[in-house]
Amino acid sequence: MSTPGPERVPSSVKVGKTTGQGKPPTGPAKTGAAKKTTPAKKAGGGKGKKPVTPVKVSGGRSMGPILVIGAVALIAIAIIGFGVYSVIQGSRSWEDKVADIKGVVDYRAQKNPKIDDRTHKDGTLTYVTSPPVGGAHNPTPQNCNGDVYDAPIANEHAVHSLEHGAVWVTYKQGLPADQVAVLAKKVQGKDYTLMSPYAGLDKSVSVQVWGYQLKTDDVNDPRIDEFIKDTRVVAALEPGVSCSGGNTTTGPVTAASNGTSMGNGK
């Protein structure tokens, strides 16, 4: 018969967190169990955050209003520029304007006494230029109220019309009818202008006022219109004298009407 030994007291097992030396195993409880992956923490020790997708904000602007504003600005600049140009042009003398027309010959600047002569004389006279741009002339001027003559007229009457401020458009005899018609439109219905063919003209067209002349071979030359615009009336040496009541015939010079003269030519 055995002798009973001392009674064993069961040691208590603490569940949960342990203190002291023993630490519960951190590994998986069973061999072969799938390992759980732990998401990597962001730098700085904070918990991982879901990336925020940036919101795109459209920075483009409607081009319509910009284009309209730009167009309005350009128009305004153009209007202002034209206004300034017009003021400057309007302040210039007609002599300066006609001097800008390429090809115009300024006979006034030459101070030629035969061209500057304004005396009234009867009969056939000789002139420095062809067609003449000044000089002694018949006491009766040629009518110049937009008159278009179909035959040569007398120099002596035409020069008197130049003294009154008329523009005399001449063209080479034999010029085609359609080209003559182009020139006629520049004269018809326009006071202080007249037109006629001219014998022996060295160019197709010659346009003259007192002391100035432009020649060209092109009836559509824009300088013709510019010359007429810049010299008509203002080139007069006897301003204000009418172009009516003068000679209306073609051909050689005629005697002064009733011995009287029109204008104040010396």
DSSP 194: E
Assess if residue 32 is contained within a domain.
Answer: no
172 and 190 within one domain: yes
Look at the chain and report how many structural domains it folds into.
2
Q: Are strands 145-148 and 193-198 parallel, antiparallel or unpaired?
A: parallel
126 and 232 within one domain: yes
Residues 210 and 133 sit within 8 Å (Cβ to Cβ): yes
Cis peptide leading into residue 141 (ω within 30°): no
112 and 232 within one domain: yes
Assess if residue 113 is contained within a domain.
Answer: yes
Q: What is the Cα gyration radius of the chain?
A: 53
Assess if residue 221 is contained within a domain.
Answer: yes
The residue among 58, 81, 99 that closes a domain is 99
Assess if residue 8 is contained within a domain.
Answer: no
75 and 193 within one domain: no
pLDDT tens-place string over residues 46-96: 555 666 666 555 555 677 788 888 888 888 787 886 665 555 556 899 999
178 and 150 within one domain: yes
Among 3-7, 71-75, 101-105, the minimum mean pLDDT is found in: 3-7
The residue among 99, 117, 147 that closes a domain is 99
H or E segment to which residue 167 belongs: strand 167-172
Which structural domain range is residue 181 located in? 105-259
Assess if residue 56 is contained within a domain.
Answer: no
Mean predicted confidence (pLDDT) in 180-190: 97
Q: Is 253 exposed, middle or buried (0-12, 13-18, 19+ CB in 10 A)?
A: buried
Assess if residue 77 is contained within a domain.
Answer: yes
Model-level pTM? 0.66
242 and 138 within one domain: yes
The residue among 46, 79, 99 that closes a domain is 99
pLDDT tens-place string over residues 125-174: 999 999 999 999 999 999 999 999 999 999 999 999 999 999 999 999 99
118 and 83 within one domain: no
Assess if residue 179 is contained within a domain.
Answer: yes
